[in-house]
Amino acid sequence: MNIDIERSNLVGLGRAELAAVLAEFGAEPFRTRQLWHWIYHRGATDFAVMTNLAKGFRERLAERFILGRPEVAMAQASRDGTRKWLLRFADGQEVETVHIPEEDRGTLCVSSQVGCTLTCRFCHTGTQRLVRNLGAAEIVGQVMLARDALGEWPSPKEDRQLTNIVLMGMGEPLYNFDSVAAAMKIVMDPEGLAISRRKITLSTAGVVPMIARCGSELGVNLAISLHAVRDDVRDVLVPLNKKYKIAELLDACRVYPGSSNARRITFEYVMLKGVNDSPADARELVRLVKGIPAKVNLIPFNPWPGAPYECSSDAAIAAFSDIVFAAGYSAPVRTPRGRDILAACGQLKSASVKARRGERVPETVTV
């Protein structure tokens, strides 16, 4: 966020918090709705544009508050249209946010923590030590910044470039649930950013005790980073599995509020050569998710320097997908997007830090 020692940021406050701050400031209650509209529907970054507020009131607001955004430390665009922003917060910590345009939608991949504590063996972000949780303002700030960059204010009703949000960036969102929830409530508010809970997907490595709350308090779509069908394999790939076993994780999915055949739980499965990609693994996956409204997302492993794994062959991925598909589940292979700017799954942050230190990186277009 913009560094301003005198003035505080209104972006990131929920409705009740905004009302409380404005009440303390001496503003009438109806001002909350007006400000909310300007901040989250119109994307105002300056009080001066709020023409339905008296000039004197705008000036007083500007003396006391800001409408801040995260600072963009680096912006890149991939040849495939994917965009990535390295954002720097007031304390110098950084995270990445990625926008992935598709024919019929545009997805923003949002980070929830600086770094990650989970140390999944195949994930580059996991090699960084966690520095800290993001606050609600820093999470909402990623969405606001993307809207700024896409020129998408006021919040359009249709033909949006930013239609969906996935909490699949850096960090484990269920280890920072309070801030993630506060941020998503702001994002979902129909009088603001207005991105429906049906268009938001939270991805977790399996923090079982938090899954029910995620469903009841937010009602967003759930994605599970499963990646293995046996506990001994998953213990190595996703060490959190030592705490919450596959059976327990799937039980939490079975009772996830709001899931149905129309709103399926996504099981993400990274394809690692010779580790988890056999036809027997595929059959076991089908057996495990039986009874859960599920879809499977196969993710070709994105390599990074020093990674202890290789991506499965195209033939192995196709065979795996066919088995899952034949059992009645959709099993698309996720096309890696933005690999040339290190924006693909598991490539975030540590890579761009290396890039700035002058190590060799693929050609990029800086925008």
Instruction: State the catalytic residues.
Output: 96, 345
Q: Check if the beta carbon of residue 228 is closer than 8 Å to that of residue 266.
A: no
Amino acid at 341: I
Which is closer to ligand SAH, CB of 7 or CB of 334?
Answer: 334
Which is closer to ligand SAH, CB of 9 or CB of 125?
Answer: 125
Which is closer to ligand SAH, CB of 56 or CB of 306?
Answer: 306
Using CB atoms within 10 A of its CB, is residue 51 exposed (0-12), middle (13-18) or buried (19+)? exposed
In the complex, least distance from residue 58 CB atom to ligand SAH, rounded to whole angstroms: 40
Count the Cβ atoms, other than its own, within 10 Å of residue 243: 12
In the complex, least distance from residue 244 CB atom to ligand SAH, rounded to whole angstroms: 13
In the complex, least distance from residue 200 CB atom to ligand SAH, rounded to whole angstroms: 13
Which is closer to ligand SAH, CB of 182 or CB of 342?
Answer: 342
Q: Check if the beta carbon of residue 299 is closer than 8 Å to that of residue 270.
A: yes
Instruction: Give the max Cα distance, the chain.
Output: 71
Q: What angle, 0 to 180 degrees and rounded to 10, lies between the N-to-C axes of helices 279-288 and 314-326?
A: 30
Site for ligand SAH, rule CB under 6 A:
120, 122-124, 168, 172, 203-205, 225, 268, 270, 299, 301-302, 345-346
Which is closer to ligand SAH, CB of 22 or CB of 205?
Answer: 205
Which position's Cβ is nearest ligand SAH?
Answer: 346
78 CB-near residues (< 8 Å, 6+ apart): 84, 337, 338, 339, 340, 341, 343, 364, 365
In the complex, least distance from residue 93 CB atom to ligand SAH, rounded to whole angstroms: 18
Q: How many residues in total does the chain contain?
A: 367
In the complex, least distance from residue 214 CB atom to ligand SAH, rounded to whole angstroms: 12
Which is closer to ligand SAH, CB of 77 or CB of 211?
Answer: 211
Angle, CA 213 vertex, CA 212 and CA 216 arms, to 5°: 85
Using CB atoms within 10 A of its CB, is residue 196 exposed (0-12), middle (13-18) or buried (19+)? middle
Give first-to-last CA distance, the chain, whole Å: 21
Distance CA(134)–CA(111), nearest Å, equals: 8
In the complex, least distance from residue 124 CB atom to ligand SAH, rounded to whole angstroms: 6
Q: Check if the beta carbon of residue 155 is closer than 8 Å to that of residue 194.
A: yes
